Amino acid sequence: KQEVTQIPAALSVPEGENLVLNCSFTDSAIYNLQWFRQDPGKGLTSLLLIQSSQREQTSGRLNASLDKSSGRSTLYIAASQPGDSATYLCAVHMDSSYKLIFGSGTRLLVRP
């Protein structure tokens, strides 16, 4: 059974810092991996999707990497801003059914 873990559970940093969020999964036979952002009481916004054959994806200040063999992904946020404060979730697709298995999330607070 696939299990997705995110570390740390919570993170507080001053504005301007670069930071890394970690995601690990127990079964490396994933179809793809996706990072989402969730604001309090809101739905999810997709940030980056990495296919199983890819090593990384970039969008603006965000960079996500994937090491499928070791069961790890990281989300790098450069020059963090208070507006980046949210919960960040990683999720894996195990097959083409597109069912997502989510990690527990990292709650990020960027202090002005």
Partner 1 sequence: GAVVSQHPSRVICKSGTSVKIECRSLDFQATTMFWYRQFPKQSLMLMATSNEGSKATYEQGVEKDKFLINHASLTLSTLTVTSAHPEDSSFYICSARPSTGADTQYFGPGTRLTVL
Interface ranges with partner 1 (CB under 8 A) = 32, 34, 36, 41-46, 49, 51, 89, 91, 93, 97-105
| DSSP letter (8 states) at residue 93 | E
Q: Of 96 and 112, which has the nearer Cβ to partner 1?
A: 96
Q: Of 16 and 42, which has the nearer Cβ to partner 1?
A: 42
> Least Å distance between CB 18 and partner 1?
25
> Least Å distance between CB 52 and partner 1?
11
* Cβ-proximal residues to 71 (8 Å cutoff; 6+ apart), any chain: 24, 25, 26, 27, 28
The C-alpha atoms of residue 91 and residue 17 are separated, in whole angstroms, by 25
Q: Of 5 and 28, which has the nearer Cβ to partner 1?
A: 5
> Least Å distance between CB 69 and partner 1?
21
* Cβ-proximal residues to 24 (8 Å cutoff; 6+ apart), any chain: 4, 5, 6, 7, 71, 72, 73
Q: Of 33 and 77, which has the nearer Cβ to partner 1?
A: 33
The C-alpha atoms of residue 13 and residue 59 are separated, in whole angstroms, by 21
